[in-house]
Amino acid sequence: MDQHHLRIVTKLALLAEQNNRCVLCGKRDPNALHEWALKRGDLPKKRQEELANLLFSEINCVVLHNNPCHLAFGQTRWLEVEVAHYKQDQGHDVLAHFAAIRTAIPTWTSAAWDKKSNRLVGRIHGDFQAR
């Protein structure tokens, strides 16, 4: 399945999982598919098609309102942690997802990914222990 169709299938599945509500504000009819752990910008274009099943998996995406939710918070560390909590609460194994990404990413992005994943895993793990 190509990226376009995979994004549509993932978005529809997530809308059902999220009860047609934005993960961030809780209001109805979100419209923007957001990748939160591994993003398209983390990969060269030639690898995006190859890793589309990981990029556009249900654990790696949420649906938000484009404006203001995605535009205001889409690239923030705060949202990364919020989505990780949401995914964990939905029964997804966030730490296994990070491990799958780490295994799949190109070597040249390994250092950057290690820094990002260590930061997120540390914050998420600490937050989960505090809960």
- For 14, the token pair is 């997530």
Q: pLDDT tens across 55-114, in order?
A: 999 999 999 999 999 999 988 888 888 898 899 999 999 888 888 887 877 655 566 666
CA-to-CA distance for 66 and 120, rounded, in angstroms?
24
| pTM for the whole structure | 0.81
Integer distance in angstroms from the first to the last C-alpha of the chain?
A: 39
